Amino acid sequence: MSYFSLRKLTKAYASQTALHEFSLDLGKGEMIAVVGESGSGKSSLLRIAAGLLTQSSGEVWLGDTRILNPKEKLVAGYDEIKLIHQDYQLSPSTTIEENIARPLLLFDPGYRKARVEKLLMQFGLDRYRDRLPRNLSGGQQQKVAIAQALAVEPEVLLLDEPFSHLDTIQKHRLIFELKELLQESGTTVIFVTHDLDDALRLTDTILILQKGKVVQKGNSRELCLHPKTRYVARLFSPINLIPGRFDSYIRPADVRLRTKGELLGHVVDQRFLVHYNSLLVRLKDGGDVWEVDDPFRKYQVGDRVYLHFDEEKVLVLKG
């Protein structure tokens, strides 16, 4: 059943349309990620969803309440819907505990204390409670920001690229922890990011946004194996155009390297990556450069190599 409902949201700025008839229905406690390149309309979408930006048309509903936009409401925004973004600021001169308690200042002191204790424990922040934000790592600070947003038990949490300034290790750990916490609390979540990998780690369902329009929706497997467009396919990996077949592509990991065959090329660059070498191979006919994986680290710059692929791995893509 639909609980948080975005209905045909359109946002036109003076020079361009950032969002075009975007619709999404989420059940209570459902989590979804919206992935799109920079400028695809993600932040506009979340700000409208939070009641912080006025849409050109369309409606936002939470249960049977229509979310009013800033033109309709004196104080923009709702306690039920919390938006967290990358540059979210904690109060620098108060402790972690006080930061988390801040949204609860008007609440009953007994309730406030119990709620803050619970969040400190849940988020593993208990031992940092007396520290100032600057004495925590970026990942921990972002965790405090999310704990603070959850203090008032919002129904909906909107995450706008909240992990972008964290290093990979911090980020993966935080996503892993958050996934469990948010599922436990039954919060309805929309997570937007330009990073498909982050999205795959946090949610099962992903919606791909391009220039303000939804181009595909599905789980990671469907999107990876059956991308509809080049844009969607490229979010997962580079793709190589097959010579003479203008809409057919193959991924680097699906190319096998042999000493005999038909599609000949020369290795023009080689990179040592964690699990394989990545090669750039210039094809003999046509001159295109392919990116391919060399899992056995066999080939060097200058080597001749024949490229093979299974027809079933070929992606036929639009646009």
Residues contributing to the site for Mg ion (CB under 5 A): 42-43
User: Hey, what's the torsion of the CAs at 309, 310, 316, 319, to 10 degrees?
Assistant: -20
Q: Rounded to the nearest whole angstrom, what is the least distance from the CB of residue 61 to ligand ADP in the complex? A: 21
Q: Rounded to the nearest whole angstrom, what is the least distance from the CB of residue 42 to ligand ADP in the complex? A: 3
Closer to Mg ion by Cβ: residue 45 or 239: 45
Q: Which does 13 bind (CB under 5 to 8 A by kind): Mg ion, ligand ADP, none?
A: ligand ADP
Closer to ligand ADP by Cβ: residue 13 or 176: 13
Structure letter (DSSP) for residue 278: E
Q: Rounded to the nearest whole angstrom, what is the least distance from the CB of residue 258 to Mg ion in the complex? A: 44
Q: Rounded to the nearest whole angstrom, what is the least distance from the CB of residue 55 to ligand ADP in the complex? A: 12
Termini Cα distance of the chain: 34
**Would residue 211 be called left, alpha or beta, if left means φ above 0 and alpha means ψ between -120 and 50 degrees?**
left
Q: Is 184 helix (H, G, I), strand (E, B) or coil?
A: helix
Q: Which residues are at the interface with ligand ADP (CB under 6 A)? A: 13, 16, 18, 36, 38-44
Q: Round to whole Å and give the CA distance between 237 and 203.
A: 19
121, 163, 242 from 170: Cα distances, Å: 19, 9, 38
Closer to ligand ADP by Cβ: residue 42 or 171: 42
Closer to ligand ADP by Cβ: residue 46 or 292: 46
Closer to ligand ADP by Cβ: residue 18 or 145: 18
What tokens appear for 246 in the block? Answer: 């203008």
What tokens appear for 265 in the block? Answer: 């090329």
Q: Which does 36 bind (CB under 5 to 8 A by kind): ligand ADP, Mg ion, none?
A: ligand ADP
